[in-house]
Structure 1
C-alpha cells in the first residue's frame, strides 16, 4: 500500500478515485500490514500463482470485471492476469511495468539482493539499492541536498518488511517469463506511466510496442523514477480522468474549478478521508491455507 499513498492521499486524486470507485488493494502473501513471517516450509509462489490469487480475491468479493492498477512487478502480475482472464479486466493502469523475462544482469542483481537479505536483513545498503530503483536522483538527494520526505518515509517502511517474505517475492519476479506474445492479443484499454529516470524505462517502451496502439497510451513523466504514484502523483491525474471517461466510468462533480485539473471537483466530502473509507480497518483475506510449520 505504501506504493500508492502519494496518489490516493493527494486531494485531487481522492476526489477522482474515491468519488467514483470502490478500491480493493492486494498485497503479495506476507507483505500485508501486520503480517507474520512466512513459514519456511511454505512453497515459494510463482508469478503464475500470484496472478491466480487475484482471481481468488475477485471471486471472494463477487467482483466481475475490474480496473487494475499496479507498479513494476505488480504491473507485470496484473498484465499476466489480464492475459489469462481477459473477461475479468476492463482496463489496466500500469506504472513502470515489467513485461520481459529478466536479463542476465537483472537476474544477477536479484540473486545478490536475495543473498544480502538472507545474511544481513534489510540493511542500510539494501535500502539504498531499492530506493535507486524507485526514485529519481533528485528525490534521493545528495550530500548537499537532503532526500525528500517521500523517500525518507519509503526508507522507514522498507525497514518494516520481513526479509523472508521479500526474498520469496524476489524469487518469483526473478523467474518470470516474457509476456510479449500475450500482450499482442490483449484488447483491454491500457494506460501506462513511466518516469524518464526509471530503470524500467526501456522495458516499458518495449511493452508499448507490443500492445495494440488502438487500446494503449503512454505517459512519460520527466524528472521522475519508477514510482510515479509517490514522486509525481499529480502528473497522473488528467490522463487518468480522460482514461476513465473513455469507459463512461467517470462522473465529474458539479464544481470543476480545481487549479490542477479541469475535470476534478475541488470539494471533497470529509467522510471520504476517514480511515474507514481509506480501508485502514479492512482485514486481509487469505487466498491460501498456510502449511503448518
Structure 2
C-alpha cells in the first residue's frame, strides 16, 4: 500500500490556443522516464496535442506490459474532485500498487487554470477524444475510468482506437446526442439559472439536492470557486453539442465483426437515484451483453465514486480480475482453479489462461460458506424445503442445475395471503465465458454473492425480492417474526355446487357467461386431474 506524496512536481502551465502548432516532442515522456525504482511518484504536466494542451497527472510507475489506468472527469469537476475519494480509498490503493494511473483534466478545467483568450474555440467532444493518443506515446494500453462527459470521451476514444483500450468503467455515461427537447430545456434553464445550478442539476437529482446538504454545498462551492467559470462554460457547451456515439448491440453470429460497438469489456455504473439512470440503461442496451456489466448502486446518487467508493473499488477489482489479472499479483495469468490441498502451508492452483501451475500460501485463501448455496438437491427437493412453514416470502436457495452443466438455479418462495396460492419459482443462473453470472443478460455479476445482494435489494424481474436463505429443520436458523395471518371472508358461492345447466331465470346470481366459464373449468379439472 502506498501513500500519495504531498510534494508535487508541477511544471509551468503552457497555455495553447488553436493557432499554436503541434510539437513532436511529448512532455509525457519525461514523467514516465522520471519514475525511479518503482517509487510511487505523483507529478503533473501539460501535454501538447493537435487540438491544444491537456493537463495530466501521473500516479505510480508503469508496470511492464500491464495497462495504465486512465481517468477522465465530468463537467464541473477536475481529476481531484472527481476521483481523489475513490483512489485514496484503501482497497483502491491496493489495486493501484500494480498499475500506474494517469488522470486527464479537460482543457482549462484544472485548478488555477487561466482563462482562454477571446475567440478561442474549445475542442469538440470528438476532438477531446482525439487528444488522448498523445498521452499514450509511452504506454501499450489503458483501462479507462470516465464519469459523464469523461465517460463519453473515453468511449469515443475506444471506438476510434480499439487496440489501445483493454477495458472501460463508464460512470453516468450518455451515448446519445442531446435532443431538441433537452436543448430547449437547457436554454430555458439558462434564463433562470446560473451555470453552477445547471451543472449541479447535471450531477444530482432533485431529491439529492435537498437531502444531502453537506455534499451538495461542498460541490457547489468547488464548482463556483475552484473551476474557471468561462472555461467551464466552454466545456459544458462542447458536451451539450456532442454527437450520438452511434453504437448498437451486435447480433451473435450475424454482424459481430461489422457493427459499431465496443470490443473491450465494459462496466457501466450508475447510482439508483442518479439523473443519468435512463441514459446508462440505454447505453447498456446498445452494447454486447457478453462483454458488458451494468452496476446500479443502491443508496447512491450522481457521484457513486464519491458516495460509495468502497463498493466501486470492489466492483473495479472484480472487473480487472474478469479481464484476466489475478487477485494477488494482477499479472495477466487469467483466473485460477484450485487443484488440490497440499500438506503444509501451500496450495496448488492452475491458471485458466496460461495453464501454468503454481503454489500459493494457504493463508491467502479462506473457506466461504453461504447458507443459500445447496449441492446435490433436485428441483422437487428445493420446492419441498422452501414450502416449510417457517420460510417466509422471499426465502430462497441456489442449487446446481439438473439440466445445464456448469449452471445454477435460483429457487424463490413467494407467499400470498392465501396459503394454497404459495408457490416456488425457479430461475436459471447462466455463466458467461469470462466466469460472470446472470439471470437476465442485461445484468451480470462477478460472483453469486453479488447476484444475491442485488436481488435482495430489488426484485428486478423476479417474483419477489430475496429475503432470507431457506430454513432447514435442525439447523440454527435465525427466525424472523412472521406476520399475523389476515382474516378473510369465506366465499359465499361454492363453484362445485353450481349446476352446469344454463339458467334462464332473471333472478340468477351468476351470469350466463360466468356460469359457462365455471362449467368449462370444472370439466377440465375433472378430466385432467388438475390441481385446484
1:179-258 to structure 2, matched below 5 A, reads 179-181=245-247, 184-252=260-328
Q: Which has the higher strand share?
A: 2
Alignment of 1:1-293 (within 5 A): 1=79, 2-16=81-95, 18-59=96-137, 62-111=138-187, 126-136=195-205, 139-142=208-211, 147-148=213-214, 150-159=215-224, 160-181=226-247, 184-252=260-328
Distance 1:109 1:165, change over 3 A: farther
- Which structure has more RCO (C-alpha within 8 Å, separation ≥ 6)? 1
Q: TM-score, normalization: structure 1?
A: 0.75
Name structure 2 gaps, 5 residues minimum: 1-78, 250-259, 330-362, 367-532
Q: Is the 8 A contact 2:204 2:275 kept in 1?
A: no
**Aligned partner of residue 82 in structure 2, secondary structure:** coil
1:53 & 1:181 partners in 2: Cα distance?
Answer: 21
Alignment partners' CA distance in 2, 1:173 and 1:141: 26
Report the CA distance between 1:132 and its aligned residue.
3.4
* 1:170 match: secondary structure: helix
Alignment coverage as a number of residue pairs: 243
Considering fraction of residues, name the structure with more helix.
1
User: Relative to 1, partners in 2 of residues 1:56 and 1:113: Cα closer, same or farther, differing over 3 Å?
Assistant: farther
- Structure (1 or 2) with the larger CA radius of gyration: 2
Aligned-residue CA RMSD in angstroms? 2.5
Q: 1:39 to 1:115 in 2, by over 3 A?
A: farther
Moved over 2 A (4+): 108-116, 125-133, 135-142, 150-153, 180-185, 247-257
Bigger drift between 247-256 and 229-238 goes to 247-256
